[in-house]
Structure 1
């Protein structure tokens, strides 16, 4: 039986070394990072900053991204934030009576999209699905709903929106009211709030403790644009940042940018974790090390340092021969587990998995003072595994990402008594979840989620059983080197895709498949995938 053998070679082998080299080159050549565009963030610029170059292209982008049901974004509650943003942006354009532009849609198209969007927004708000655990959703949704209602009142005397909902369902505003009270109190405000400056309202304009870092307010184009709108005088650095973001993306904008430290650390850690030869160069490593301050590293300029980014930077540097003492992580130690940042609402599985890797590496390489903490954190990570064998997390829509992070950390740095049973449960669930087309995915098969599943099956050090062989042989088609269709799955104000980080995950999975290809090929030469699954 030669076909599966040929598929393994044709799909995962070609260009693997070149792919790693290209990835490293892009980390240096495009230091801002590569991030998918955001309906939410682009909608904020359409609504609040029509003066920024590319307004018509952003308006056209919103119409092009609208789904057949009138909403924006995927299911499961994730449509709420982008739909609210897009609808409010379209209504703001109608209220302003934006002049026609050849680069954008005409008014009739905007009206039609707004009517369909309003109906979709009303459905999203009336749905029983919980509001997604994405940053600032409890501020964004009530603020934008109030603005939509205000626009509907302004347009009520015209026939423009005939047949559209007149008033949207009520939304809980307690969080918005509490933040507004804090902003007007003069008391210190958590700096992470500035990432959502665009929905904080007039009270934010009175604060003198918010200012751009490297031109960006909260690493957000929308936050920066609204902050600029509140200024009586222009800020050249902020305007340069905003214009550069728009120019790079061609009009629409991403949610968080730049993501230099985040992109570099995740990419390098992913490649090094599976043993790929990685030589990013002295300058890039020095810049990554320089991102570490007393409290660790931040994802982007104007954002607070956090344990997730800090631990991944530390792990990447250690694996690449530039270890830095991980004492900065202790700022986030809550005793039972680590918070992403102080005052975090909730907890993150993937943050703690990354902390376990960082501390685990140092403990194994002579830093005995972290050994007890590594053992207890491994126990915590095992204990929060779901009853179905998977882990879920607040920074990614797919359980396969969280499960991949947890399995890698437990396999690498937890004692077998803690790790083995948890990993075996995860492997069994991964095998059961494989789709008919051979891939994995929350909504449909994706290269990214298939890569995480393959890493769980092959990267945990567990025996490669016939069922694993069969599953991997069916999955390789999704790991093709020429695939680049990465849907947004990562949590920011709406979902996004960090392109190079996802590519690194796919490359890592391809490497693991190649490492066990002889075993898989031998098994495939004597049995069929169907028979292997039945014997397992």
Structure 2
């Protein structure tokens, strides 16, 4: 989705001194934050499949079926490579089987049956080929997989018209969440409120989600910042047209044309990331008053959620604080205190696992605060060296970092290297140099960077590290120039790039990705050739 055309394409469509184009594109991007307040997120096979199965009454049902059939891969699966295919393939296959079992009309039923058969075959191969190491760390993946295997098994208990069957699906190793799913269902059945983070995947409990008091929709009708969770709460029968939850779903469907994203809204998260990325690269931006006020109003001592329906988290809180700090506005750090642990900051209360990118963003928030308040007490000043040491401990031998919120090590490496380059002091510099070496050795022949293939998003992350915190030598400049040429070529092709961010399904936050590309373009185009190095107080610029 774009606002007024693709500003990234306009920003890199020609090589040369086109700094005003970058500024104009950034202005378009900032305007889009205000006009599309829920966020700009790619549609999800997983979430769209759940709506097909759970809410056939919702407008756009036929378009969602078309989307699923068109998105199927040649091998019969859906979604990203390797383990990233499990959840979307389960969801799409379950949705098609549910549709085929419904009486009436034939929405190209032969095509649906063929796609369902191919999906079942793909699931069988995935279960055989994947081991625990190939399963990505995605939210509620074990609950979702267990629920969908169970649902597909029920659908295949009797013959499905046009579907050969080919055996029942099995849950891949590493995603056996049947016991946890039963515990969540028992919790809801007893009237006990589940952890707030589970509401984002409420659809996993199926019919048990209908009308659950603990999941009552928010002011705009949203349950768990998720169309699927909202649909599960409403149930399979069409609710009153004036029901706020139904209106939320219809608004999302109208915005996306049928298919839906897996997380919406992402208001605060999107705005914080876009602002900080642009300002850190020295791009002159005017933040719309509504956008700025939304960041300020979202902050509170308990932390800040990415959007309505989600629990507060340290990552979004830190991102919002850092954005305000880069804009030169005062802020307090108390919203991060609930997430402080002995050696790190958790992403949310009760987090299973650990995120280096969350801790890198917390380092930036504390570091930016200390730029204006250097005489702060030890409880604040001690955080910066502590988090810097933590990030150093998690750097891989090759110089990269990996994280649970993104499929690509280039994202995690950019988060950690940029934070260490600015606030890591003397201990951070060797780690940044190792990251730079890794980036220089992994650049592709066409000038791009990428985990599976070269992408504009991952290329932008690599270029920001090289041009913001790299040593400023000829190797970094030459690699940045090759990356810039790749961005110019990719913009002319009109390709959006793959979904790489972790939610229940891989997703692409379009505005955030465009901001990263614009930042890389700006840095590569600095006409004077003089940049303020990381660690200086002045912003990057001429």
Same structural fold, with TM-score higher than 0.5 when normalized by the shorter chain: yes
Which residue of the partner structure matches residue 427 of structure 1?
436
CA contact (8 A) 2:408 2:500 kept: yes
1:336 maps to 2:343: yes
1:135 maps to 2:129: no
Once the two structures are superposed, the pairs formed by residues 23-422 of structure 1 within 5 Å of their partners are 23-101=29-107, 106-129=108-131, 130-155=134-159, 160-162=162-164, 164-170=165-171, 172=176, 173-205=178-210, 207-213=212-218, 214-229=220-235, 234=240, 236-366=243-373, 368-369=376-377, 370-416=380-426, 418-422=427-431
Query: What displacement does 1:98 show?
Result: 4.8
Q: Which runs of 5+ in 2 are unaligned?
A: 1-11, 532-542
CA distance, structure 1, for counterparts of residue 45 and residue 66 of structure 2? 11
CA distance, structure 1, for counterparts of residue 26 and residue 398 of structure 2? 34
CA distance, structure 2, for counterparts of residue 232 and residue 169 of structure 1? 32
CA distance, structure 1, for counterparts of residue 290 and residue 498 of structure 2? 32
CA contact (8 A) 1:486 1:499 kept: no
CA contact (8 A) 1:95 1:154 kept: no
Which residue of the partner structure matches residue 525 of structure 1?
none
CA contact (8 A) 1:215 1:237 kept: yes
Query: What displacement does 1:361 show?
Result: 0.8
CA contact (8 A) 2:55 2:237 kept: no
CA contact (8 A) 1:95 1:155 kept: no
Question: After superposition, what is the alpha-carbon deviation per residue over 1:5-61, rounded to whole angstroms, capped at 9, x for unaligned?
Answer: x99844974611111111111111111111110000000011111100010010000
Range 209-218 or range 53-62, more displaced: 209-218
Which residue of the partner structure matches residue 436 of structure 1?
445
1:467 aligns with one of 471, 475, 479: 475
Which residue of the partner structure matches residue 531 of structure 1?
none
Aligned length: 506
CA distance, structure 2, for counterparts of residue 412 and residue 14 of structure 1? 27
TM-score by length of 1: 0.90
Q: 1:12 to 1:408 in 2, by over 3 A?
A: farther
CA distance, structure 2, for counterparts of residue 313 and residue 59 of structure 1? 38
Question: After superposition, what is the alpha-carbon deviation per residue over 1:327-375, rounded to whole angstroms, capped at 9, x for unaligned?
Answer: 1101100120100001100011111011000011112211613111111
CA contact (8 A) 1:440 1:450 kept: yes
CA contact (8 A) 2:87 2:141 kept: yes
Question: After superposition, what is the alpha-carbon deviation per residue over 1:438-480, rounded to whole angstroms, capped at 9, x for unaligned?
Answer: 10111111000000010111111x3222322221222112323
Which residue of the partner structure matches residue 530 of structure 1?
none
CA distance, structure 2, for counterparts of residue 20 and residue 66 of structure 1? 35
TM-score by length of 2: 0.89
**Helix, strand or coil at the partner of 1:37:** coil
Which residue of the partner structure matches residue 491 of structure 1?
502
Query: What displacement does 1:391 show?
Result: 0.6
CA distance, structure 1, for counterparts of residue 519 and residue 355 of structure 2? 23
